[in-house]
Structure 1
Amino acid sequence: MHIRRNCVFLAVGALLATGAVAKVSPEEAARLGLEGTELTPFGAIRAGNADGTIPAWEGGIKTPPAGYKEGDWYIDPYADDKILFTITAQNHQQYADKLTPGQIAMFKKYPDTYKMNVYPSRRSASFPQWHYDNSIYNATRAEWCNPSPGPNRETRCLASNTSKPGVFFPIPNDAAEVMWNHTFRFVGKWYTATAYGYNAFPDGSYAEQVKLDRFLMPLWIGPDAGGDPPLTHERFTRLGGGGLCASQEDISPPRSAGTIFSACLYLQDTTFDAYLYVPGQRRVRKAPEIGFYDSPGTGSDGLRTGDSRWTFWLTGQEEWYEYGPLQLKEIYIPYNSYKIAQPGLTFKDIVMKGHNNPDLKRYELHRVWVVEAKLKPGFRHLSPHRFAYIDADSWDGALGDMYDARGDLWRVTESYLMNYYNVPLPYFWGDDHSDLISGRHSALNSFYNVGPKGTAAPPDFTAKGRPDQELYTPAGLRKFGVR
């Protein structure tokens, strides 16, 4: 497979030793384009693969399917596709070169129930035109802060005024840039959604939880991102500008109802700067534990770490990991997951012993950036060695593998990607984090279709779904709190 010559086996440590320059030459950037170029505007290989199992990218889903209306549940554009073949515990060895260690471990752990239905690959990823234009612009301009703001922050600070809202490094030099592209990928300008999650026990039973998600992304709001007036509050403009701001309010279980956090991640400081409203105390406090490296993910009962959201994302001020050589591979990943997003499903339909219902999942062969991360000396993390598998067409996280301190494969993550074509935007609908040792598994509050009939709804990306920006300030968070 063709990969840009200066990407192959280039480790981040070598770059830092010479003073890394993230931008590429105009000649390299000329390979990017919307049509007729070797690479897409996002840096993915445009052409299909040699045996035709991955098609060429032709712009993805350009218009919603016939019959779709804003606010409706998503119609599956590929509902007529048939299963090509099914990978099982009995035949997975013949597909091993296109499976991850985590997937292979799941076949071994659950040989009677875990399977992968493989469908035709559809390169459905598509984005707004301004996002394509800005990504191409960034290729020759985006740079890290020089000098670095501190040790282990060399690739955690983007220099001001060197980029526009888009993919920052569409032709990545190393895995650190892949992680940056993934963390700050486009997830819409904002959205509001009632989101459902679960923590499942080894016998397949589970405890549900409901949260109100309110996301506001300062990075994607402004004249270079479609013309919206930029956010001007200091909460969104400091430290190079806010990359994303998130808030979650607990709806259930009752013991945590009314708890709200809001937090922002910045382009020059990837600490998840969080505040928490606790209704029992009726006050707002700083909450540095939220989203911090291996602190427990919110509502996860310890089954997810803060930095395993979206399979693996940058959080915390410093880089704790050293990244391995840049790799691009063909892997079977969850994609075009409209079946698991259909209305009327409940967690009884989805959750099984050890994993989610494979008959509701669709796998396709796609090119993914493989990020290998090993903990640096002097740092501690529950997972000293881990992998993330990032879809090359969208920069979305598709799969993740985490190893424990003994070097054993421990947790396996998959994310159910699909195109929210009304935006347009590739994003996840739900995910699953499986603990191979305990037999438990957990989902982020991201399933939107399992709520009570008449109240469940897809995320609202319209102006109506835009959160109040005061929610992300300590004073505003207190005002929103339920007493």
Structure 2
Amino acid sequence: MKKLRYTTRALAAGLALTASSTVMAAVSAEKAAQIGLTGTPLTPLGAIRAGNADGSIPAWEGGIATPPAGYKQGDWYIDPYADDKPLFTIDAKNYQQYADRLMPGTIALLKKYPDTFHLNVYPSRRSAALPQWHYENSVWNASRTRFCDPPPGPDREYRCLDTSTYRPGVAFPIPNNGAEVVYNHTMYFFGKSYVWRGYAFNAFADGTFAETVAIERSLLLQYMTPEEKPKDPLFTGNGGAMWCRSSEMVEPPRQAGSMYGGCNYFTSQDFSAYLYVPGQRRVRKAPEIGFYDSPSTGSDGLRTADSTTMFGMTGDEEWYEYSEPQRKEYFIPYNSYKLAAPENGDFKKLVMRGHLNPDPIRYELHRVWAVEMRLKPKYRHLSPHRVVYFDEDSWAGAAGEMYDAGDQLWRVQEAYLMQFYEVPMLSFWGDNHMDIINGRQSSNNTFFNVGAGRGGSPPDFVNPPDSAYFTPAGLRKYGVR
């Protein structure tokens, strides 16, 4: 495959990298007046409220804030746009006429798999909606939220949030720089808690794959009221836990019973994690979990810890320098209800050579925040150069590109976004991390419908998990012996 380098098609030419030693203040009251609940140029989350010039992206009108008629809590999701038909299909033969709205990673997939990869493009539906309290707090944050001043140390300017200036919502809805964009995404709204039994795959270049199953549990304490937050010291240190996560491997058998739990904090992004190892029957501190390019759990080394949601801030120091963020219009997976339907939950039909079956995947034109990142000289990472794309209506990660040490395009990432209207929030139903060089691919444990015929169910965002799952004592209690 020809060596692919980052081009001006992804971001405007001449992006200047911001000096990560500069901490930007909150925006002025005048600038913050652009954001509001209604009648303002920007939505409460900082997205452009209006549609685009040619009408291919509509105005945001509130999204799907309540479930459609007939939906019941715990059911598989009803597709609100089931009657939509594709507007056109982009493939290896015609992609050049759409090249200004295709990310470099998408173009690379079209070139590498000309006979099997394509994009079915549907009408753009701005379905993203969040709770009213989140909107109100995000508007309040726009002119107030700041990082800690002074920062806790070198390369930690964006690792500590001044909680006296923040309310639960988007911290920087009008971002000053790329670091604030990435921070917004790292902490994007994912409900207050969840529990799910998720399915994933690790695939070889010929399309054969191994399935993994994990039970994922999370508490997003940054969005909880004081009464809802657990009181264990694990959750109250370092300015308070922002989010806590626990993962329990179910399959394959050789990994079954392995379980970890831990938290990230307002004053530190160094994931404080503990691991229960069944073979040793003990709990140990696990600093490698969630740390930059450590292998992501269950990924067979095909995903890095910091690419779980395309990219997220990890570690206590910032290793990357960020470009000035740019709003771009790209075709991305969106409103993936067809992919999430029980009848499409079969990896044997979904996993193809090098990519997923494109037929059940819906692509739409949306505005995204595009941020380019380059590794600081004193650090080392498997991907010293990467680009990430965040949905402007939700701050969820939509896609990403990772480059290797030779600056060759290496991994192409997609997240299959949709509105979880019962929460409400917009996030991903399955994702894929495709190695464009060796043809392998891997997903997170978020294809829930793969378990539809064997007792599986959609994620539970209503009943919080026991907080003990995140503590060392709790891991000992729940660990399989």
Shorter-chain TM-score bucket reads over 0.9
Once the two structures are TM-superposed, the CA of residue 161 in structure 1 deviates from its matched residue by: 1.3
% same residue: 61
Tell me: CA distance 1:219–1:195, structure 2 relative to 1, closer, same or farther (3 Å): same
Q: For residue 177 of structure 1, what is the aligned residue in structure 2? A: 180
Asked if 1:277 corresponds to 2:276, the answer is: yes
Deviation string, structure 1 residues 399-456 (Cα, Å, up to 9, x no partner): 0000000110000000000000001010111000000111110101111010151511
SS at match of 2:450: coil
Aligned-partner Cα distance in 2 for 1:128–1:109: 41
Cα distance in 1 for partners of 2:471, 2:330 equals 41
Aligned partner of 2:109 among 93, 106, 109: 106
SS at match of 1:445: coil
Shift of 1:215: 1.0
Q: Aligned AA for 1:403?
A: Y
Letter of the structure 1 residue corresponding to residue 362 of structure 2: R
1:354 partner amino acid: G
Give the aligned residue type for 1:265: N
Query: 1:12 is paired with a residue of what secondary structure?
Result: coil
Partner residue of 2:74?
71
Residue 232 (structure 1) shift: 2.4
Letter in 2 for 1:169: F
Give the alignment of 1:146-161 within 5 angstroms: 146-161=149-164
Partner in structure 1 of residue 405 of structure 2: 405
Question: How far 1:162 sits from its partner (Å)?
Answer: 1.0
| Match of residue 18 from structure 2 | 12
Which stretch of the first structure deviates more once superposed, 311-320 or 452-461? 452-461
Q: SS of 2:330's equivalent?
A: strand
Which residue number in structure 2 is paired with residue 453 of structure 1? Answer: 453
2:24·2:176 contact (CA, 8 Å) conserved in 1?
no
Question: Distance between the aligned counterparts of 1:434 and 1:119, measured in 2?
Answer: 23
Q: What corresponds to 2:437 in structure 1?
A: 437
Q: Distance in 2 between matches of 1:462 and 1:407?
A: 44
SS at match of 1:108: helix
Q: 2:250 matched to 1:247?
A: no
The answer (yes or no) to whether the contact 1:334–1:415 under 8 Å persists in 2 is yes
Q: Which residue is equivalent to 2:6?
A: none
Quote the offset at 1:67 in angstroms: 0.6
Distance (Å, rounded) in 1 between the aligned partners of 2:230 and 2:313: 23
The amino acid that maps onto 1:113 is T
The residue identity in structure 2 corresponding to 1:12 is T
Using the size of structure 1 for normalisation, the TM-score is: 0.95
Measure, in 1, the Cα distance between the counterparts of 2:254 and 2:473. 24
What code does the residue aligned with 2:197 have? T
Q: What root-mean-square deviation, in Å, do the aligned CA atoms of Structure 1 and Structure 2 show?
A: 1.3
TM-score (normalizing by structure 2): 0.95
Change (3 A) 1:452 1:137: closer
Q: What is aligned with 1:312?
A: 311
Secondary structure in 2 matching 1:76: coil
**d(CA) in 2 for partners of 1:452, 1:123:** 28
Q: Secondary structure at the match of 1:446?
A: coil
SS in 2 for 1:427: strand
The runs of 5 or more residues in structure 2 that have no matched partner are: 1-13
Instruction: Give me the whole-angstrom Cα distance separating, in 1, the residues matched to 2:236 and 2:478.
Output: 22
Cα distance in 1 for partners of 2:291, 2:447 equals 23
Unaligned runs of 5+ in 1: 1-7
Find the aligned partners of 1:355 and 1:10 in 2 and give their Cα distance. 33
Contact 1:188 1:461 in 2 (8 A): yes
CA positional deviation for 1:160: 2.4
Separation in 1, partners of 2:67, 2:160: 37
Cα displacement string for residues 171-206 of structure 1 (whole angstroms, at most 9, x for unaligned residues): 000110000000001101111100000001111110
Corresponding residue pairs, total: 467
Structure 1 counterpart of 2:418: 418
Are the aligned partners of 2:246 and 2:262 in contact in 1 as well (CA < 8 Å)?
yes
Is the Cα–Cα contact under 8 Å of residues 21 and 155 in structure 2 kept in the other structure? no
Which range moves more in the overlay, 410-419 or 25-34?
Answer: 25-34
